[in-house]
Chains A and B, each alone.
Chain A
Amino acid sequence: MGIHLPHNVLDTLMPMHVLVTADGVISQTGPSLQKITPGLDLIGHAFLDMFYIARPFGVRHFEDIYALDASKLRVTIKSGARHDDRLFLRGSAMRLQADDGVIINLSLGISVVEAVRRFDLSAADFAPTDPTVDMLYLIEVNNAAFGESKKLNLRLQGAKQQAEEEALTDALTGLKNRRALDMTLKNLTEDKTPFALMNVDLDYFKAVNDTHGHAAGDLVLERVAEVLCSETRSTDHVARVGGDEFVVIFEGLLELEMLGNIAKRIIKGFEEPVHFEGEACHVSASIGVTLSSFYDQPTPDRMLGDADAALYQSKKDGRARHTVFEPGA
């Protein structure tokens, strides 16, 4: 003894149901199913003419459905010889009593977002117990929250970039960076403060990176930064201006002999091997020096250029040495 369910009961509880007679003809459909099959007249047609059962495989005759009791179906809607492969419905088929045929309940499954948009569905198109509308709510709230988080990330990224641009220290060594050096040089030349400028370039640094890797290279850079700081006074300015290039400014110091001694101590300090994972890394330094007193109107660009020229002379002469720029030479 089964229960007889009037139309409106099925329509409310299962708004996407299909009733199919024992010989495979659609006799009734739920209102939401009609909404997602606009222009199609389902009733009176063979179920398998209107729907294509993609899973399980091999359902070609309606009798096959009888064997599928309660298993999960993946169904698409046919339109002529084609089927709609953008909208996959989920379904389950249950056989009714004796010869009454089959009831197939369909749902939008994971295609729901697409279907809601395409067919302009409303909350009334879903069964009151169906959590699909809550799922749509979650999708929407998730998009909104994700959007806010993304905005926050973008703002933080912007702030980080700005902080980096405004930073005056080199992140790896803690020395001044190029920006800080430029500011110092500008101030000193504008104030006509006498000073010595020393460009220091690491020798053999590329070999350390190539042989022992960048971690070893970084360790060497940190070590030479320490040497530069310990061989200079706290009133001097030490900056890292490139991968392995450093600049030291000695405020108020114009004595070439003393600068020569400092350069020698720096080179000696650089040549102490740095041990990385049990292996010794060797570097040295080529140095170029110029003095603000060499110029009538010292400018940062000119002094940096001349110190560089002296530095390249040191390289040319065999590295690991310092050269003083010769004005007028």
Chain B
Amino acid sequence: MFGLINRAIQKFVQDSYGDTKWGEITVLAGLDFREFESMLPYDDAMTDEVLRSAALILDKDRDALLEDLGAYLVTHPNMEVVRRLLRYGGRGFEEFLLSLDELNDRVKLAIPDLEIPQIALQAHGNGAFSLKAVSQRSGYGAVLEGIVKAVADDYGALVLTELDSEKNGDRITEHLKVELLEVSFSQGRDFKLAGGMRN
């Protein structure tokens, strides 16, 4: 697993539950270090072990934890860069959903080593959408659910989501249903193109 993903989990735990909890998780997971490096690759099993340990120590189930991670990536001030990059997806929430088709390509363009599943969007009319992610491991769907809900808030839209998954051999297909109830439910957060540039 590319370090950015492990580092995101680390930062999420540290920023949400404190450094002590993160320390306990690394010990339980059998890591001989505490800091993941964003730009280095790590063994996949390590990520699974960290998530398993985090679920135990934080007393949350894995999917709930991953959904919170998705929300954290969009809402926490330390992760502003992620929110900005996602908001590049479109001028409104619907356009953002449509842009998720391109998310994999965007990620590849940005960081070729970072592998995330291909996400396919289907529109069912009347504000109903479904997102399909196929990969070798479960969990991306829960992160995506957290991201989608938080981005909806960011745009000021109101959505309902529902996640389910099916296993087919070693392939796991996760379906995220998104129902867009109201496009402009509240005043969203501002997004300025110039906001992310350095002087």
A residues sitting closer than 8 Å to B (CB atoms) are: 113, 116-117, 120-124, 133-134, 136-145, 148-149, 151-152, 155
* A138 CA to B193 CA, complexed, in Å: 12
Q: For residue B85, which residues in chain A have a CB less than 8 angstroms away from its CB?
A: 137, 140-141, 144
Q: For residue B88, which residues in chain A have a CB less than 8 angstroms away from its CB?
A: 123, 133-134, 136-137, 140
Q: Is the CB of B197 within 8 A of A145?
A: no
* A143 CA to B199 CA, complexed, in Å: 12
Q: Is the CB of B81 within 8 A of A144?
A: yes
Q: For residue B111, which residues in chain A have a CB less than 8 angstroms away from its CB?
A: 141, 145
* B62 touches A (CB below 8 Å): no
Q: Is the CB of A120 within 8 A of B194?
A: yes
Q: For residue B194, which residues in chain A have a CB less than 8 angstroms away from its CB?
A: 116-117, 120-121
Q: Is the CB of B198 within 8 A of A149?
A: no
* B184 touches A (CB below 8 Å): no
Given contacts A113-B197, A117-B197, A149-B39, contact A140 B192 (CB under 8 A): no
* A117 CA to B194 CA, complexed, in Å: 5
Give A123's nearest chain B residue, CB to CB: B91
* A122 CA to B190 CA, complexed, in Å: 11
Q: Is the interface of A mostly helix, strand, loop or mixed?
A: helix
Q: List 19 A-B contacts (CB under 8 A).
A: A116-B194, A117-B197, A120-B194, A121-B194, A123-B90, A123-B91, A123-B193, A124-B91, A133-B88, A136-B88, A140-B85, A141-B85, A141-B109, A143-B197, A143-B198, A144-B81, A145-B110, A148-B39, A149-B39
Give A133's nearest chain B residue, CB to CB: B88
Q: For residue B198, which residues in chain A have a CB less than 8 angstroms away from its CB?
A: 143
Q: Is the CB of A152 within 8 A of B193?
A: no
Q: For residue A124, which residues in chain B have a CB less than 8 angstroms away from its CB?
A: 91
Given contacts A116-B194, A122-B192, A123-B193, contact A140 B81 (CB under 8 A): yes
Q: Is the CB of B197 within 8 A of A152?
A: no
Give A140's nearest chain B residue, CB to CB: B196
Closest 8 pairs (CB-CB, A-B) = A141-B110, A117-B194, A148-B38, A137-B88, A140-B196, A116-B194, A116-B193, A144-B81
* A117 CA to B37 CA, complexed, in Å: 32
* A143 CA to B111 CA, complexed, in Å: 12
* B40 touches A (CB below 8 Å): yes
Q: For residue B137, which residues in chain A have a CB less than 8 angstroms away from its CB?
A: none
What's the minimum C-beta distance from B114 to chain A, rounded to whole angstroms? 9
Q: A117-B199, A152-B38 are in contact. List 11 more A-B contacts (CB 8 A).
A: A123-B193, A133-B193, A134-B88, A140-B85, A141-B110, A143-B198, A145-B110, A148-B39, A151-B38, A152-B39, A155-B37
Q: Is the CB of B38 within 8 A of A140?
A: no
Give A126's nearest chain B residue, CB to CB: B193
Q: Mark B175-199, 1 if CB is under 8 A from A, else 0.
A: 0000000000000000111101111
* A149 CA to B90 CA, complexed, in Å: 28
* A117 CA to B199 CA, complexed, in Å: 9
Residue among B4, B193, B198 facing the most chain A CB atoms (10 A cut-off): B193
* B52 touches A (CB below 8 Å): no
What's the minimum C-beta distance from A316 to chain B, rounded to whole angstroms? 56
* B132 touches A (CB below 8 Å): no
What's the minimum C-beta distance from B80 to chain A, rounded to whole angstroms? 10
Q: Is the CB of A138 within 8 A of B110?
A: yes
Q: For residue A113, which residues in chain B have a CB less than 8 angstroms away from its CB?
A: 197
* B21 touches A (CB below 8 Å): no
Q: Is the CB of A136 within 8 A of B38?
A: no
* A149 CA to B193 CA, complexed, in Å: 24
Q: For residue A149, which residues in chain B have a CB less than 8 angstroms away from its CB?
A: 39
* A151 CA to B40 CA, complexed, in Å: 12
Give B95's nearest chain A residue, CB to CB: A123
* A116 CA to B191 CA, complexed, in Å: 13
Give B196's nearest chain A residue, CB to CB: A140
* A43 CA to B123 CA, complexed, in Å: 44
Q: For residue B110, which residues in chain A have a CB less than 8 angstroms away from its CB?
A: 138, 141-142, 145
What's the minimum C-beta distance from B11 to chain A, rounded to whole angstroms? 12
Q: For residue A139, which residues in chain B have a CB less than 8 angstroms away from its CB?
A: 197
Q: Is the CB of B91 within 8 A of A120?
A: no
What's the minimum C-beta distance from A142 to chain B, rounded to whole angstroms? 7
Give B190's nearest chain A residue, CB to CB: A122
Q: For residue A151, which residues in chain B have a CB less than 8 angstroms away from its CB?
A: 38
Give B114's nearest chain A residue, CB to CB: A145
